[in-house]
Amino acid sequence: MARFREQAKLDPSQVNDRRGAGGGRGGRGMAVGGVGGGLGIIILIVTLLLGGNPLDSGGGGSTAPGATDSGQTGAVPGGSLSENCQTGADANEGEGCQIVGFVNSIQEFWTSEYASNNAQYVEAQTNLFEEGVDTACGFASSQVGPFYCPADQQVYLDLGFFDTLRTQFGAEGGPFAEAYVLAHEYGHHIQNLQGTLASAQDGDTGPDSAAVRVELQADCYAGLWAANAEATGFLNPLTEEDIRIGLDAAAAVGDDRIQEQTQGQVSPESWTHGSSEQRQQWFLTGYQSGDFASCDTFSTSP
């Protein structure tokens, strides 16, 4: 079915397509641990769960496994995103324009949410890249997965990550899995705007740590967007299947699931993002409540 409203007007300027521009310094294989610059952190979805801590303030150290060759995944044939991604009908036809549509919807929601509280939302651009990218937080290879850089207030995504999510971490995949990932990263942007992202810098890990609480709050914010996605004017009503796929993606990037698959054992004391159950629970909390206040993961047990 058509996921996006065909006549919805897209704003491709919110997505910067840097694919094909080269990997920057280091290119593929550049190791990324914690990175300096700005707040000195990058929030990662997956790879640093395999041993590195995204809250470390030092430079690159441990090699992050799991890189994939993204190639031209999601490329827009015959032109740029700005030329090809104009309407919801375009978003229904290709992955690149689909990303534009999701980003537009997510930012429309937060613009409206801020306005309802007499505040002004600051937009964050999403950058599509392959192999590696230079950011205000430092260089990152595709191995680190999607991330938000608080120093430049931008989201970075190699579309090849979604292949990794399916093939290495067992996610079903599909458009709403991509929407969940993007909405989670924009959740970090909201945390940055509100000053709560800095709470993740104490270096602690474990199910009750500030690091996990930050990630679960971003999951809750993703659910909050999902509850209001139709109202943004870009998407048709979400289905139960959409939400199931979002929950499946949330479970796939749970600390326990990834540790079991990559290490053969679960070590809760090293968790930085939360268990599969926690991540699903907080996505549903945001989705079912539709209430910003319900996403306070810092004053309740995560």
Q: Is the dihedral of CA 34, 37, 43, 47 positive or negative?
A: negative
- The pLDDT averaged over each successive group of 10 residues in the chain (302 residues) is 88 93 42 22 36 31 26 45 94 93 98 96 96 93 91 95 85 91 97 88 89 95 97 96 94 91 90 95 96 94 81
3 state DSSP class of 8: coil
In angstroms and rounded to an integer, the radius of gyration of the C-alpha atoms of the chain is: 18
Half-sphere exposure of 129 (CA within 13 A, CB side): 27
User: 16 - beta bridge partners?
Assistant: 127
pLDDT of residue 297: 95
Burial class from Cβ neighbours inside 10 Å (0-12, 13-18, 19+) for residue 29 reads: middle
Q: Please state the domain extents for the chain.
A: 12-73+81-295
Burial class from Cβ neighbours inside 10 Å (0-12, 13-18, 19+) for residue 301 reads: exposed
User: 44 - beta bridge partners?
Assistant: 147
Cα three-residue angle 246-31-273, rounded to 5 degrees: 30
pLDDT of residue 301: 83
- The structure tokens listed for 128 are 């599509």
pLDDT of residue 300: 87
Are the C-beta atoms of residues 189 and 113 closer than 8 Å to each other? no
Q: Which of 217, 211, 208 is nearest to 188 (CA)?
A: 217
Query: Distance between CA atoms of 259 and 153, rounded to whole angstroms?
Result: 30
Q: Using one digit for the tens of pLDDT, what is the confidence trace for 48-105?
A: 333 333 333 222 222 222 222 233 334 443 458 989 999 999 999 988 999 999 999 9
